[in-house]
Structure formats: C-alpha cells, structure tokens
Amino acid sequence: MFEGGGQPISGASGAIPDPIEKGVPDLPTNAFFAYGYYEGIPRVLDLMDKHGIKLSSFMISNAVKTAPDLAKEIVRRGHEAAAHGRVWDNSYQLPRDEEKRFIADGVETIERVTGQKPIGWKRLLDAQLRAHSGDAARARLSLHD
C-alpha cells in the first residue's frame, strides 16, 4: 500500500490508538505514514528485486502527488500500479456520481504520474461492497477486495 501523504492531518488510525483532537496535526501517525515512502517502500522494492517478485502497489493519488518519484520507481521496476482512492477516505458514502469521480481522479493521477494505467482499484473498507461502488470501479478497471 502506498498511502503516505493521502491520510488526513488528524484522525487516521496509526501508531497512537487515542484520537488526536480534530484539526490538530497527529505528528506520530503522520511520521508513521511518511516512513512508508521514505524508507519502507524503497526497502520492499529492493527486497522484491532481490527475490525476483513483482507486486501490485495500491496507491492513493494524493500519496502519488506527495512522492511522484517513488510512484514512478515502483512502475519502472516492473510492478503494477493499482488505485486505492484519491485520499485516505471512504467513497462508499458518496452519491454515485461523486464516487465515480473519486475513483476516476485516483486512476487519472496515477496514470499521469507513472505513465501506467492502474490495473485495478482496492476499496478502502468492506462497507464499499454496496452495488454502485463496484459498478463505478468496474466501469474503469478491475476490482480488488
């Protein structure tokens, strides 16, 4: 998962289980997410190269905007880009047209930055199993649960 940079400034689940006051930056959790694109993902890419394994990287488009060179590197090394939303948020609560735009925005950003059309879309929560959520994604790409 390539999510760092797509999470809210506060309220994301992470290293500290107690919620931080809304609107106040959750520095420990944001540092936890940043570790992914500074250290975690590059290390995983090296490990995959060492063992000749290819993976699907589910990317949040705001994370791709935060670290475009990393998104490009994932694809350059032969891994598949897959969409995981525009931001770290639930799209299942959106009206159908807004949800389609939410999915499309993520797909378009990933393709524009990496040059690879995402091979699929990963729902953020099982609650997104409602009928039109799947329809919105299937209209553009394959759906992953």
Give the pLDDT confidence score for residue 1 in this predicted structure: 63
Q: Which residue has better confidence, 112 or 61?
A: 112
Task: Give the residue, 108 or 39, on which the prediction is more confident.
Answer: 108
Domains annotated on the chain, with CATH:
54-144 (3.20.20.370)
Beta bridge pairs of residue 58: 82
Higher-confidence position of 104 and 19: 104
pLDDT, tens digit, 9 for 90 and up, residues 31-74: 777 777 778 889 999 999 999 999 999 888 888 998 999 999 99
Residue 9: the pLDDT is 58
pLDDT on residue 129:
53
Better-predicted residue by pLDDT, 28 or 84 = 84
